[in-house]
Structures are given as C-alpha cells and as structure tokens.
Structure 1
Amino acid sequence: MVEHRSVNVNGIRLHIAEEGEGPLVVLLHGFPECWYSWRHQFAPLAAAGYRVVAPDQRGYGRSDRPEEIEAYTILHLVGDVIGLIHALGEESAVVVGHDWGAPVAWHTALLRPDVVSAVAGLSVPPQPRGPVPPLRAMRERFDGQFYWNYFETPGVADAELAAAPRTTFRRTLYGACGDNPHNNPPAQPLIQPGGGFLDRVKAPEKLPSWITEEDIDVFVAEYGEAGFTGGLNWYRNLDRNWELTAAWQGAAVQPPALYITGDRDLVYRFPGMEDLLPALPNLHPNLREPIILEGCGHWTQQERPQEVNAALLEFLDSL
C-alpha cells in the first residue's frame, strides 16, 4: 500500500509516496505530472522486493515551491535527488525518470555515479550538451514558436494552464498520447502566434482506456494549490543549465542504463533525435539497447504500464 509523508531535503520539503522494502528505486515524474504518474509501478516493483519512492519534485504538488526562477536549475534538482536518497537512510539507489524527470535522472547518474547504482529514462534520452543554449537554439530554428519558448515568459503559460486545470489535463494527457491519431507520427509542438499551448489539441469526448476521469480528478486535486509555475520554471532554466553543465561536455553516463520510449512520443521526433538514438550505445557504453514501444505516445509508464514494468523489473533484476 502506498504511504505518504514529507522529507526535508536541501532546505525544502518534498512530499513522497512510497511502498515496499528492499533496494531503493526513486521514480521521478515529468511535466505536468506528480507522484501519481507512477501509480502503476508501485505495487509490481514493491512485490518484486524493491523500496519504491516517488517524490513530488520541487515546484510540484505537495512539495515546496521556491519563488525564485533560479532555484530550479538542474543542479538544484540533482541535489534534491541525492539529498532524498540520503534522507531515506540509503547510500545508493536506482533512479528512474520520465519526461523532465529523465534529464534529472540522467544528470544525477552523470554527476554522482557513486550514489546512482543504475539509471533509467523514459521518453527523454541522455542528450549531449549542444553547441548553443537550447532555448536560443529552438527560438532560432522555429522562429520562437517551439513550446519551450512559449513557456519562457513568466506568467503567460502559468495563467493559461491554471485557468481550467481539468481541461488542461484532459487536453495535455490526450494530446500527447499514442491514441491521438495526430501523433502518428507526432508533429513538432509549435505554438501559433497569438495562440496558447492548449490550442494544439481539442479535449477528447472520451478519454482513452489508459486514463480515467478519476485519474484526472487526482491530477486536478494535486495541482489545486500548487499551480503550474514551479514546473514551468524548470523550462526557464534550460539555458542556465547549459551554462552550468559545461564541465560535463562529452561525459558519458557510467552506471548501467536503460532507455524506453514510444514511437508516437513527440520527443521521439524532436530535432536531432534521428541521429542521436542510433548513437546512444556508443555515447554511453553501459546503456542497454533502447526499447521502442510501438504505438505508445509520450506518457510511457501510464500508457504501457505492463510493458514498462516488465522492462524495469528485468533491468533491476539483472543488476
């Protein structure tokens, strides 16, 4: 049974959901999500003999939400993961991340291989540090219409997403999933001039089978007080992260690693992915052969829980 409590880490309070006993597995959610995104992973991993902990990361859900945008750099986020592992009384853990949680997981493994015994990323692969800051790169490539750039301006996306949270979650979760016929293949997530993030997709009349109205209720409730600003601040630090990680240019992820994605995931079609994905085993020698789930969209562990659980358990048991 999943239990909830708060843990003090690096001067902030993180809400965590946990189940099971054994080697620690930390599950890191993405945007706009929370601990509940891992609801299908708790029981199977716990039953297999693992201690499963999914925090609301800083800025999300029931965890603290620092006001300063600069408090959400990748170094803060990695520090939270390392601090959480130690606050839980452990010296090491397997770290698994989805969406934004994946870059946090990859960077935690990159920066602290002494603490991360293995790492897995869902949707977002370990990406090389590019020659120019990412927000600038996307701004120049897509004339400022890429959704990262729309998220840049404080208050704009925050207000749009918070205006009607239920609509936000129904549109966002359906919009990026494999059941949306427009994601075969997915188009680049561009925001039209004068439009908003949610204008890209209409709310479905009926949700796909992997998500229920009750699930939407939980996401709405978890975001009721928190809003979306904390999560959006992660995007606002993309260029700052590029500056902070210069010392790791060209570095490889050392712990055993696993990457899972769907062929209808918008990230799968991001610029450069067609060259990056085949090169991953050479860039990171301890990375297993990537798993590509046919017909799966962006919400990997929610859309395909059985396949993701089987892959994670096989990976964990092999360590």
Structure 2
Amino acid sequence: MPVSHHHATINGIHTHWVEAGKGTPLVLCHGFPHLWFSWHRQIKALSEGGYRVIAPDMRGMGQTEAPPDKEAYGVAAITGDLLGLLDHLSVEKAVFAGLDFGAFAIYDLAHLHPERVLAVIGLENPAAPHNPEVPPLTEYAEMAKEHFLHIEYFREVGPADRDLAAEPRLFLQKVFWALSGEGDYFATWKYPPSATYIEAMNEAPPLPWPWLSELEFEFFHSEYARTGFTGGLNWYRAMDIKWQERKALEGKQSPVPAYFLGSEFDVDLEGFHGDDPISLMRAQFPDLRRVEMIPGAGHLVQLEKSEEVNRILLDYLADITQALSV
C-alpha cells in the first residue's frame, strides 16, 4: 500500500499519521481499540479514487503520544489535535470521516470549527447527545449495577489497564469478534458487575476470519502489546469532561453537510443510542444528506465489509466534491 508515515509535535503531543494520494483532503479518525491501520483498506481505495487521505493515530493510541491523565482527552484537546494536523499540513478545509470515538471527534470539530470542515461522514455512531441533566458515567454506573458493562469496568485507573495489558492478544481477538456482525457483544451483559471484560466475552474462533487475516490482526496486537491500553481507556474516563464541555453546544446545530453509514448488527446503534438515533443526528446536523446501512456487518464495518464501505464512501465523496464545484 503506497502510504507515507509522518511524525511531528502537534498540539503539544507527538503525533503519527499516514498519507496517500492527492486531491480533496480526507481525514479518517478511528476509535478504540483501533489504529490508523483500521482504515488501511479504505486508504488504498480512496487515494486511488482521487483523494488525499490522511489517517492519524488518534491521541493515546498507536504511535501518537498517550498523556496519562484523563483531563488530556477532552473536547478541546481532541479538536485541537485535528486542527493542529490541518495547520501542520497547510490544509484549510477537509472532509472528516470517523467511527466510534473518531465520529464524536469529528462532530465536535464540525460544531466548534465549521469553517475547517467540508463535510462529516459518520460511521456507526450518530451525533446523539447524552442526557443533558445526568453525566454519562453516572448513567452507565446505574446500568452497571445490574450486569457487567465495559464502560464502567474501564472507569477506574488500574484494573482494566492491567488486565488488558496482561493479555493483549486474547483481549483484542475477543473484542474484535464480539463487536463484529458474527459476534455477540451483548452476551457480556449476562455476567455480573464484578466480571472482567475478557471473562465476559465469548471465545473467538481462531484466526484467520473471512474479514481479518492473521497478519492484519498482528498489526493491532503488536502495537497495543507495546503501548498498553491506558491511552484508549482515557477516552472513556473523559466522558464526563466532554459532557461538560459540550454543554455550550446544547440546542445548537452545525451547518456542515453530514453523511452517515451504519450496519445491521452494530452494537452501538442497537444498545447505546436510543430508538431513533438518526433523528438525533439530524437534530444536530440538519443538512444530513445521505444515510446508508450495510447488512450483515457489525461495528468493525470497514474491515468486515470493506468493498461496500469503499463504494459508499466514494459515492459520498463524489457527492461532496460535486457540491463544492457548483
């Protein structure tokens, strides 16, 4: 894959990203436990399709620095990373696509700095605000009184960090399978609150899987075995910090054009975003132009159904660039 790797100090932290292609800039933002490499099949297709693809390791993960404190993972810090990356690359505006925490990062950017965003493409996670009256970690703590919940398990510094770092291969294999369309994340809810995440997940079949090779899996494993998971877990631990920062945006709408791509068996759409998540996204992004759902896939849609995702993204990008030329 013809990508170039880059490193620089951006927004006060060491940052790593890859680039490929030329044309309209497109920034791909991953979630947890992922890396820039989560997009590697999209980078090839989109760069060959005529776009300048930029895929960072997000703050705390991969080769990008991981500040140890949760306070370093708020909205201002993360949007500052994305703005700093644009400035470093002398890019005035870009299209941003994001999945999981990466989706919320690009939505925040589109609200706070719409002048730098040509359009947003959200994958799996719509722009659905939490209860404005109750901090999200309080909501999740109530849920976790009844059964295991990974967000509550991640809350305290120490136990989850040690558990996952002790068995990174087992954790990643189990969680990737559980979040896929063939897995069953909600099986974890059958376990008591005292369980660990690794204990609560079903066994995964041996690799390779139809949508993930052993070599691809090893890229994720080698990076997280090297870094540990604390940087990624801090994105969860900062949920209340982000909730407080987002209060200034309550009731406001972004003028940025928006697109959404989901999948039939996504755990977040099924269990964490209410009965009508698309209407919640439209409330924040009234210029929501396209929504497509991919059958048979789960949360790892860009790996599980790569060709379908590439086709839809190229279709969305063509729509965006055509509108820019009018």
TM-score range normalised by the length of the shorter chain:
over 0.9
Deviation track 1:22-64 (CA, whole Å, cap 9, x = no partner) reads 1111101110010100010111111111111111111111111
Contact 1:187 1:266 in 2 (8 A): no
Determine what percentage of the aligned residue pairs are the same residue: 36
Amino acid paired to 2:252: A
Contact 2:119 2:258 in 1 (8 A): yes
Structure 2 partner of 1:166: 169
Structure 1 partner of 2:140: 138
What is the TM-score when the length of structure 2 is the normalising length?
0.92
1:282 deviates by 4.7
Contact 1:35 1:55 in 2 (8 A): yes
Give RMSD over aligned pairs.
1.8
1:130 deviates by 1.8
Distance 1:128 1:69, change over 3 A: closer
Greater displacement, 143-152 / 106-115: 143-152
Aligned pair count? 316
1:206 deviates by 4.2
* CA distance in structure 1 between the partners assigned to 2:167 and 2:188 by the alignment: 24
Distance 1:129 1:174, change over 3 A: closer
1:315 deviates by 1.1
Structure 2 partner of 1:192: 192
Structure 2 partner of 1:201: 202
The one of 151, 156, 167 equivalent to 1:153 is: 156
Deviation track 1:136-190 (CA, whole Å, cap 9, x = no partner) reads 112123427421111101011111111121112111111110122x36xx56757
Distance 1:5 1:289, change over 3 A: closer
Contact 1:59 1:231 in 2 (8 A): yes
Structure 1 partner of 2:306: 305
Amino acid paired to 1:160: D
Greater displacement, 286-295 / 8-17: 286-295
Amino acid paired to 2:49: A
Structure 2 partner of 1:277: 278
Alignment of 1:244-255 (within 5 A): 244-255=245-256
Contact 1:29 1:35 in 2 (8 A): yes
* CA distance in structure 2 between the partners assigned to 1:124 and 1:188 by the alignment: 20
Three-state SS of the structure 1 residue aligned to 2:289 is coil
Contact 1:135 1:238 in 2 (8 A): yes
Three-state SS of the structure 1 residue aligned to 2:27 is strand
Amino acid paired to 1:123: E
Select the structure that is richer in helix: 2
Amino acid paired to 1:121: G
Q: For structure 2, which runs of at least 5 residues remain unmatched after alignment?
A: 321-326
Deviation track 1:82-137 (CA, whole Å, cap 9, x = no partner) reads 11011111111111111111111111111110001110111111112422111111
Distance 1:166 1:23, change over 3 A: same
